[in-house]
Amino acid sequence: MNRTVLCLGLLCLIALTGCAEKLIMVQPYEMEHFAQDKMRFTPLDARAAFEEHIYSIREASAGGSSGFQGGCGCR
């Protein structure tokens, strides 16, 4: 866990300092593809929420999607 937090902290530091310019890999006029549904991380928002709930009931794992799930007696 500490290693991951450290890596993410370093990434934040890079992004917030002068090295950040190297992270500009796409110019604003090249971003048209990312406006399409099929290029979103969750193209079907409602399904993403529902299936995360289903899998939290049917499996013992959670997390990794950064989606919030409220409490439920099914789990």
Q: Which of residues 32-71 bind other proteins (CB under 8 A)?
A: 32-52, 54-55, 58-71
Closest approach of other proteins to the CB of residue 58, in Å: 7
Closest approach of other proteins to the CB of residue 19, in Å: 10
Listed residue (67, 59, 65) closest to 75, CA to CA: 59
Tokens matching residue 57: 């009931």
Tokens matching residue 60: 């013992």
* 18 in contact with other proteins (CB under 8 A): no
Angle at alpha carbon of residue 7, lines to 22 and 68, rounded to 5°? 105
One-letter amino acid at 41 equals F
Which residues contact other proteins (rule: CB under 8 A)?
Answer: 1, 4-5, 8, 11-12, 15-16, 20-21, 23-52, 54-55, 58-74
